[in-house]
A and B are shown apart, each in its own frame.
Chain A
Amino acid sequence: MEYLQFLLIIILSPLVNGIIKKLKANMQGRRGPGVFQPYYDLIRLFKKNMVVSNVTSWVFRVTPYVVFSSAVAATMVVPVISNNVAFSQMADLIALVYILGLGRFFMALGGLDAGTAFGGEGSSREMTVAVLVEPMVMLALFTAAISAGSTNLVKVTGHGTAFYTPSHLLAFSAFLVAIIAETGRIPVDNPDTHLELTMIHEGMLLEYSGRYLALMEWAHYIKQVLLFTLAIDIFFPFGLTSSGDALSIVISTGIYLVKILLMAFLMALIESTRAKMRFFQLPSLLGGAFVLALLSLLSYVMMGR
């Protein structure tokens, strides 16, 4: 039963995005679309015919499937509501990051395949952001992993009460920035814009249509919730059941949903209070986050906790 917990992420991810949109709208004094809008969009896209550029090669058409299935594969090793995930032995942080990396690699290739300037620009900026984010994510995760003595997610989550230490708070703030960058949110990227000069993630998807686009978007939602869940698992690892009985599962599901909602609220808050940065100002933000991660590691090494 709890081996299927990853389906929770896959199914809920559009909803979470809808909720964030709604919250943003409300904070900005708009009504905004309903929280279930992303589902309607996906289904409509699945039903549409597709227009594909005749410049593209098979890489372009394989990309959506790789991106989507890599995102899904990543979710399978993450404890959502129960410590008792499928293949718990391979529930590995580093592996997780690199699986997502595979998705990004193909997305960037897909962006280049159509031979348009926008796609190229999108993938170029995506890879640049990745270059800045990756070390920081790793350092943040290292702090957690070292304190848990393992890179295995189950071990990390099992090793509780970690988040009172300063090193973990630092690591968490770094990881938060990482999430913003990875999910393409303000101030790094603007998920709602289609203005060519500013877009990163949308730029790569420009040539995609119909079900390909749907898969890409969905994969994006999944990645977002996955990262939320990761943050929760690592930095607020309480409320996960290890027993399989229905009650505890219900309880922990409830706790999980609350946490996710909090994350969503946080995101919406940040997005509506911050303005989008110029692309070449990003290094200062992400560099700062890197320093936070470094400090967390340092403080852990120095204080031993």
Chain B
Amino acid sequence: MITILLIPVVTAIICYLLKGHRLTGYVSMAGSLLLALASIPVIRDAFSSGISEAGLLYMDGLSAYIMSLVIFLGIASAIYSIHYIDHELHVGLIDKDGIRRYYGLFHLFVFTMLLVTVSNNLALMWIAIEATTIVSAVLIGLGYTKRPMAIEAAWKYIILCTVGITFALLGTFITYYASISVRGTEGILNWTELRKVAPGLNPSTMKLVFIFVLVGYGTKAGLAPLHNWLPDAHSEAPSPISALLSGILLNTAFYGIMRFLSIVEPSTGSLFTGNLLILFGLISMGISSVFILVQENYKRLLAYSSIEHMGIISLGTGIGGPFALYGALLHILNHSIAKPLMFFASGMIQAHYGSTRIDRVKGVLSRLPFLGTLTFLGALSLAGSPPFNIFISEFTILKAGADKGLWPVVGAFLVFVVVVFYGILSGFSRILFGNSETETQGLRIEGSGAVLQRIVMFVMAAVVLILGIWIPDFIDSAIWSGVRSILGEGVR
């Protein structure tokens, strides 16, 4: 586990020392691949049974699940970055110094997210999440370009998230306090031990805890109405980073909520937590669907769609029960494959047309057939239409809702999903079709980087499609072990 944490740090340092050499990209790719190799055995063990280490670190199904997503997206994004950064350098948006900063921070970012997933101590988890904010904010704002909009986005991002997350820390403190009153002697912050004493904790205290944590980590996870930093940050960040942000960062934040959920629920009962989560889920879906409908900027559109999908995940978690949680976790996976794919694609479109405004971009399908096709598939997947992956998880959650008889929730869900479908499809069909008369600055596609870029995107698109019609057993069992680590053993 320590090694897993060390590898990205080392990679970061190397990348930073390389002074923006052209090879830096390949080094970072090698680093992330190495990370993947090193992590495989640990993750495999973690899926079967929880491992704890050094008191502060702990891994079980859930952490392994999120961690493998972090690592996968780390690889994808690192590979994508090679040509992306190359192109940025070519068009002069970035200098050597920027490159070293970019890759250095990139791997630090990965490191912080890994730390979130493996930390057993709630305060440590908080530290890690706060750290992700800081690192990614720097990546957005000062990463390499000093565009005012990027700075504005970063400023809002860091302020809102820091403010929000403060409450999460407060919640953490109160948890510690509540544990004192149970243990008598002195409090604990270790999730594994808190889990044991959870039923004994004071319900009203834990309600307070959950409110603070929900507001805190909810801000970071982009639940409306705490989401306002998200569209700015995601649309202004360089595309590989946007991919990481919406693909996995939001999920790590929500991971924090899930951890607290399994401490809070035993004492307060699932009704309180469930209703709160469902409420936030519905609000997020509603607001985001409206914004998607009238969005004029395709990266912001994708950002709002992230809010919608976080809403769906929160809804699934709130509905509760093994199958709803299964759906939520599956949705996390599906979303964090499809959304990064779309951000990668939009990054290339932006590089080609030099604009993120929908009305400035036309005829992608005819000009860049490969890219256009992937975008088309990705957009449909995000819009939640079969035979793509996201429909499956959405339907699973809906089914769980029907099981519980939550018809108003189901109805609202369907309405919002339809609106979102309309929004996304109308937005992207305006981009994809038609013939563009706007002259474009063209996209250089020579070099091995470009090839790798395309390979990665193709693989992700394939996964999006395959997961829509076939869920392999290892994924299934992984998700179930994740569900177990939230609901406790004995589930399935």
> Per the CB under 8 Å rule, do A and B touch in the complex?
no
Q: Which residues of A contact B (CB under 8 A)?
A: none
Q: Which residues of B contact A (CB under 8 A)?
A: none
